[in-house]
Amino acid sequence: MSRFAAPISETIWDMKYRLKEADGTPIDTTVEDTWTRIAEALAAVEDTPDEWEPRFYAALEDFRFLPAGRIIAGAGTERSVTLFNCFVMGTIPDTMEGIFQGLKEAALTMQQGGGIGYDFSTIRPKGALVKGVAADASGPLSFMDVWDAMCRTIMSAGARRGAMMATMRCDHPDIEEFITAKSDPQRLRNFNVSVLVTDPFMEAVKADDDWNLVFEGKVYKTLPARSLWDRIMQSTYDYAEPGVIFIDRINAMNNLRYVETIAATNPCGEQPLPPYGACLLGSINLARLVRDPFETKARIDEDELDTLVATAIRMMDNTVDASRFPLPQQEEEAQNKRRIGLGITGLADALLMLGLRYGTEEAAAQTEDWTYRIARAAYAASTDLAKEKGAFPLFDADAFLASGSLRDMDHDIRDGIAQHGIRNALLTSIAPTGTISLYAGNVSSGIEPVFAYSYKRKVLQPDGSRTEEEVVDYAVQLYREKFGADADLPDHFVNAQTLAPLDHVRMQAAAQKWVDSSISKTINCPEDISFDAFKDVYMAAWDQGCKGCTTYRPNAVTGSVLSVSDTPEKKEKPTLHLAENTQDVPTATGDVVYMSEPLDRPTSLEGHTYKLKWPDSEHAIYITLNDILLNGRRRPFEIFINSKNMEHFAWTVALTRMISAVFRRGGDVTFVVEELKAVFDPRGGAWMKGRYVPSILAAIGGVIEQHMIAIGFLDGEGLGLKIDPKAEVMVAGDRPRGAACASCGSFDLRMVEGCAVCGNCGFSKCG
C-alpha cells in the first residue's frame, strides 16, 4: 500500500526529492528509501548512529516530521549542495570593491541552492559624492539591478533560480525610490523587497511627526512620517510590495542580541539573520498528530508531539554538522550559534479536525497553546543536547536569558538553560511549506488557512494525452472518508478566499508569541478592500506584536494567482489542440496558439534594421527584424544579427538561426526577449540610456522587445512577457488568469506565504 495520501504527493516526491542517477534512473525506489537515506545521513554524526537512525526514521515516517526540501533532496547524496535554506550575506561595504565581492559571494551561495537576503542600507544614496573620483554615487538601487541580473543566470543547485530578499531602512535617503522600484514590471523581478521599519518611525507615524532621511549623519531630506508610511502602503496596495519588517522589534526579541545585530531576512521573511547568518528549517506536521478527528474528543496527541519535537531538534542540530556551506564565513556563523528553525505545517487542517474555525479567538488561543508546547519541548530538548554535547560556542547564560524571547519562558526551562546551557541559539521559525505540504498529502501550508478545498490538476499521460485529477485538501479528504463523499462540510470549514484580513493577523500574532525567529505568512486581502482598511491591517500587525507583515491583494497589476470557486460552473471547456499551420494565429487579446509546422517564408517581408553600439566596442551590431502579416496582425518572423567584429561571428550566426527558427514556429515568442535580457556577463555589463544592461545579449533582447512594441506585438516594455516558454497549448478564448509556472507551464499558481507555488508540479522559487 502506498504511503502517499494523494497522487500529487508521489509526483512531488519523484520530481523534487527522489534520489536518482544522472540519467534519471531512480536510486530511491520507494519513499521509505528516501526516509532511510535521510535518517542514515543525520545519524552518521552521532557517536552511536545505530541507536539514532531508527528513531530518526520513525520521525520521518508517515510525514510526521518534514525536514525542509533541501534536506530531503540533499541529505545522504554526497552532492555539493547545502542543506541550509536561508542565508543573509555579509554587510555590503560602501566601496566598489566590497560591493562586487559581495556579488561574488552571493553567486557562490545561490549556486549551492541557498535563498539570500541583503541589506542595501549601507550603500550611500544616489547623488552622494564619491571621494577620489570626482563623481556622484549611483545609489543602492543601481547595484540591486546588478544583483538581479546575476540571479537570473544562477540556477540554484542546478534546479531553479535563486530567491532573494532586499531590505532598506526607512530612514535611508533613497527609501522613496526603493519603495516604488517594483512598480516597473521589468525591474528587480528576482527580488522580494521589504522596508526595515523602526520603532521611532512607527511612533512618528502615530504622532504625525516629521521624519529625517539620513546617511552617515547627514540629513538629506525631511518629510512627514505619515506621508512616507502612506507611500509604503500605496505601493504595497498596488503592487504587493514592499513588505514591512519591524526591525527594532526583531532585534529586541533576538536571543543573540548580545553578539549580533540583524538588518535583513531570508527571502520569505521567517528568518531574520545577521551578516553571513544561515539557518535550516523543518516542520512538525500537526495534521498527522490529531486523534479522533471531527469528533468531540478530537485532540493533538501531546505526548507524541513532545517526543517528535525532541527528535526533530536533534536531527536538525545534526544537520548543522552534516551540511556543506557555500562560504567559510557561513559555516563559522552556523557552528558558533547552531541556529535552527523548527516550525509547523498543517495547522489549519488540525484546527478543522478539532472543530475550530481558522481566525477566531478560539482558534488563535489553540494555536498559541500548540506553539507554546512546541517551543517548550524544543528548548528542553536543546538543553538536554547541551548536557550531552555542549552549548553553542557563543552562549552567555545571563545575556541569553535576558532576551525578549526568553523572558516569558517557564522557570524550569530557564533554570535548565542557566545550569547546562543550550545547544542551539534559536530554535523555532514558521517557514513556507508549500512544496513539502503537497508532498505530505496536501496538508494546509504552514500556519496558512486552507487555500482551496479542492482543485483540478492536469496530468500528462505517457501517450501524450492529458487527464484531470482532483487534488483535495488533507482534512477535507479525511472528512469525506469518515462521513461520505456527499456530506456537506460544516460551517467552520473556511478557506483563504473567505477570511477577513484581520483574522489572518490574529493568527499570525498568536503564533509569534512563542516563535523566537519569525513567521512567513501571507495575509490575503480582497481586491475591493479600501485603502484605509488595507492600512489598518499593517497597523494591527504592529499593535499585536508581529515582527513583519506581508499581504496579497489581487488587482490588475499583480493578477489573480489562482482563481478558485467552491461552486464551479458546469460548462464544457474547449478541447486543447494544436493550431493548423498558418490559419490559426494569436488573437488581439493575446491568446497563445502553437503551430504544428513552421511557417513558410513569403517572397518578400517588411522589416526594420537597428544599430546597437555597445560601449567600449569598436564595431556596432546591426539587427534586422522582418515581420509577417497574418490575419491582419503583424508578428516577428526572422532576425539577422551582423557585426564586423569577427569575435562575434559564431554566436551571432547561432543566435540568428535559433531565434528565427523560434519565430517561424509561431505562438507566444515573447519569452525570447526575457531569456536574452536575463543573460549576465561576468565581465560586467554597461550603462545605456541611464539603465544598467547586464550583457550584449541583454541589449539585443531589448532591441527585439522595442521592435515588438513598435509593431503592436507587445503592449509595452516588460508587459506580456512570460516567465518560461512552457505555456499551456490552448485555443483562442480559453485563456487562464495569472502567470504560467516557470517549471511546468501550467497556470495553477497560488500565493502561499509570500511565494507563488504551483499546484500542478509543486514548483516554488522559495523552496
- What's residue 75's pLDDT? 94
- What's residue 158's pLDDT? 43
Length of the chain in terms of residues written: 767
Q: pLDDT tens digits, residue range 332-357? A: 999 999 999 999 999 999 999 999 99
Could you tell me what percent of the chain has a pLDDT over 70? 82
675 confidence band (pLDDT: 50, 70, 90)? confident
Render 699-716 in DSSP notation, one character per residue: HHHHHHHHHHHHTTSSSS
- What's residue 388's pLDDT? 97
Q: Is 628 helix (H, G, I), strand (E, B) or coil?
A: strand
Q: Give the strand pairing for 164-169 and 755-758.
A: unpaired
- What's residue 218's pLDDT? 95
pLDDT at 159 over 50: no
pLDDT at 270 over 50: yes
pLDDT at 441 over 90: yes
Please give the residue that has the higher pLDDT: either 401 or 668.
Answer: 401
Cell numbers for 346, please give them.
498543517
Q: pLDDT tens digits, residue range 164-202? A: 899 999 999 999 999 999 888 778 888 899 999 999 999
Mean pLDDT computed over every residue of the chain: 84
751 confidence band (pLDDT: 50, 70, 90)? low
- What's residue 539's pLDDT? 97
Render 492-519 in DSSP notation, one character per residue: T---TTT--HHHHHHHHHHHHTT-SS-B
Render 592-620 in DSSP notation, one character per residue: --BBSSPPPPPS--EEEEEEE--TT-SS-
Render 171-240 in DSSP notation, one character per residue: TSTTHHHHHHGGGSTTSSTTEEEEEEE-HHHHHHHHHT-EEEEEETTEEEEEEEHHHHHHHHHHHHHHHS
Does 279 qualify as catalytic in the annotation? no
Of 224, 149, 234, 163, the C-alpha closest to 195 is 234
595 confidence band (pLDDT: 50, 70, 90)? very low
Q: Is residue 738 left, alpha or beta, with left meaning phi > 0 and alpha meaning psi from -120 to 50?
A: left
The catalytic residue among 85, 190, 266, 285 is 266
Residues 140-156, mean pLDDT to the nearest whole number = 79
Q: Is 738 helix (H, G, I), strand (E, B) or coil?
A: coil
Task: Please tell me whether the peptide bond between 615 and the residue prior to it is cis, using omega within 30 degrees of 0.
Answer: no
Measured CA to CA, the distance from residue 722 to residue 718 in angstroms comes to 10
- What's residue 678's pLDDT? 79
Q: Which helix (H) or strand (E) holds 32?
A: helix 31-43
Measured CA to CA, the distance from residue 709 to residue 118 in angstroms comes to 35
Residues 726 and 740: beta-carbon distance below 8 Å: yes
- What's residue 26's pLDDT? 93
Render 368-404 in DSSP notation, one character per residue: HHHHHHHHHHHHHHHHHHHHHH---TT--HHHHHTST
Measured CA to CA, the distance from residue 233 to residue 202 in angstroms comes to 13
- What's residue 669's pLDDT? 81
Please give the residue that has the higher pLDDT: either 677 or 442.
Answer: 442
761 confidence band (pLDDT: 50, 70, 90)? low
Cell numbers for 409, please give them.
519562558
Q: Is 531 helix (H, G, I), strand (E, B) or coil?
A: helix
Q: pLDDT tens digits, residue range 721-737? A: 544 333 333 322 333 34
Could you tell me what percent of the chain has a pLDDT over 90? 54
Measured CA to CA, the distance from residue 106 to residue 103 in angstroms comes to 5
767 confidence band (pLDDT: 50, 70, 90)? low
pLDDT at 254 over 60: yes
pLDDT at 367 over 90: yes
Compute CA distances 565 → 354, 453, 559, whole Å: 25, 10, 16
Question: For 503, how many CA atoms within 13 A lie in the half-sphere containing its CB?
Answer: 19
Q: Which of 253-262, 284-293, 562-571, 701-710 is least confident?
A: 562-571
- What's residue 752's pLDDT? 61
660 confidence band (pLDDT: 50, 70, 90)? confident
Residues 129-150, mean pLDDT to the nearest whole number = 83
For the chain, list the domains and their CATH numbers: 1-84+266-524 (3.20.70.20), 86-204 (3.40.1260), 574-733 (no CATH)
Please give the residue that has the higher pLDDT: either 637 or 80.
Answer: 637
- What's residue 466's pLDDT? 67
750 confidence band (pLDDT: 50, 70, 90)? low
Does 268 qualify as catalytic in the annotation? yes
Bridge partners of 666, per DSSP, are 594
Please give the residue that has the higher pLDDT: either 734 or 265.
Answer: 265
Residues 174 and 139: beta-carbon distance below 8 Å: yes
- What's residue 156's pLDDT? 36
pLDDT at 420 over 60: yes
Cell numbers for 648, please give them.
562575434
The catalytic residue among 53, 270, 638, 674 is 270
* Residue 286: DSSP 8-state: G
Q: Where do we find the cell 540554484?
A: 156
Measured CA to CA, the distance from residue 544 to residue 236 in angstroms comes to 20
The catalytic residue among 268, 279, 525, 761 is 268
Q: pLDDT tens digits, residue range 443-502? A: 999 999 998 888 877 665 555 566 777 889 999 999 999 999 889 999 999 888 789 999
586 confidence band (pLDDT: 50, 70, 90)? very low
**Core vs surface per residue 320-352: b (16+ CB within 10 A) or e:** bebbebbbebbbebbebbbbbbbbbbbbbbbbb
pLDDT at 632 over 80: no
pLDDT at 747 over 70: no
- What's residue 66's pLDDT? 97
Cell numbers for 330, please give them.
557561513
Residues 705-723, mean pLDDT to the nearest whole number = 75
